[in-house]
Amino acid sequence: MSYTITHFAPETRSRIDAFFNRFGQGTNAYLEGKARAAQIQALEAKSDGDLALMGLTRDRIVAHVFRDTYWI
């Protein structure tokens, strides 16, 4: 016969929740940063003429990609 524990003390549950919360935040930050790096590379690969049609200059690419997170 085996037993399964389904109840954790509140402090144990709190520590487990905090661990997964921190882990999830780190994972989200990594994935979002990776996606934005790909977007920056794609824009940097465009010609100056293509960027001008988009209303961008090379020095404003990073600000454009992060425009929703930073007030630049």
CB atoms within 10 A of CB 71: 6
Rounded-to-10 torsion of CA 45, 49, 52, 58: 40
Question: What helix, strand, coil percent values describe the chain, rounded to 5?
Answer: 70, 0, 30
The band of 71, judged by pLDDT with boundaries at 50, 70 and 90, is low
CA distance 43 to 51: 8
The CA distances from residue 39 to 5, 15, 46, 72, in Å, are 47, 36, 11, 18
- Using one digit for the tens of pLDDT, what is the confidence trace for 14-50? 888 888 888 888 887 787 778 889 999 999 999 999 9
The band of 1, judged by pLDDT with boundaries at 50, 70 and 90, is low
